[in-house]
Amino acid sequence: MTAVILTSPQCGGTHAFIALLKALGMKLSGRHRDGMWYPIGLSKRVKGMPITADFQIPIRDGDFITGHSAPFPTDLPVLSNRRDPRNIALCHWKRRRYAGSFVEWLKTSQARKYISRIPRHWRWNGSSVLEVWYEEILREETQRKIAQLCGVMWRSTNFYGHGKTWSGQPSNADAVFDAACEKVWRDLWDEITHQSWDTWWVQNGRAA
């Protein structure tokens, strides 16, 4: 077993990856966010420890840590959770309980703030970075790759628990993204990333 970093955008489906890693015998030992380190069990009232260039992660083999920001001062293997940015945006819209429609929310500064954070979570470099799409986590081939990264044996498991409705499939982006919404999204993505949505989609292997 080895120690691993699980990195994921907020609303990227981190919960599913955490459940899978635990089912494979890994232990969550801490979280990092916005330059601070929070060991599991630390009271939420206690401020975390600042992450510096010489910060030593208190992590053992068989443990994993999570975080929403990169880079992180370590050479540990990284499990990078990716998810369709449109579904991440939909998740934020629902969680913020915006009174208006999704397309109206996309025009707000709040939407720009959350969407602009998405690409930074995937800027990990190194020889031990495994990029996994959230939509593919239920595939045995994908789970075996994750187990290999962690140095554990893969085993078939109902990791997400009984009675859950999550299927690992994309959410209702196709239903929500009509022509008007699609145009707003493409313009916003181009403005934020300086790259067209179609180019990003193809470069990330999502084109049919």
> Each residue of 61-78: pLDDT tens digit?
899 988 866 556 667 889
C-alpha distances in angstroms, 201 versus 44, 84, 107?
A: 38, 9, 22
pLDDT digits (tens, 9 = 90+) for 123-152: 776 668 899 998 888 889 999 999 999 999
Of 23-27, 38-42, 100-104, the one with minimum mean pLDDT is 38-42
- pLDDT value for 166: 52
Q: What's the rounded mean pLDDT across residues 185-203?
A: 92
Q: pLDDT above 70 covers what percent of the chain?
A: 84
32 contacts 40 by C-beta, under 8 angstroms: no
pLDDT tier, 119 (very low <50, low <70, confident <90, very high otherwise): confident
pLDDT tier, 100 (very low <50, low <70, confident <90, very high otherwise): confident
Q: What's the rounded mean pLDDT across residues 80-98?
A: 87
Average pLDDT, the chain: 82
pLDDT tier, 42 (very low <50, low <70, confident <90, very high otherwise): low
Q: Give the DSSP letter string of 17-75.
A: HHHHHHHTT-EEEEEEETTEEEETT--TTSPPEEP-TTPPP---TTEEEEESS---S--
3-state secondary structure of 80: strand
Helix (H) or strand (E) holding 190: helix 179-193
- pLDDT value for 44: 60
3-state secondary structure of 106: helix
Sheet holding 78-82, edge to edge: 49-50, 36-39, 27-33, 63-67, 4-7, 78-82, 129-133
DSSP lists the bridge partners of residue 65 as: 5, 30
DSSP state of 134: G
* Domain 4-203, CATH class in plain words: alpha beta
Strand 27-33 and strand 4-7: the pairing is unpaired
Q: Which of 43-52, 103-112, 154-163 has the highest mean pLDDT?
A: 103-112
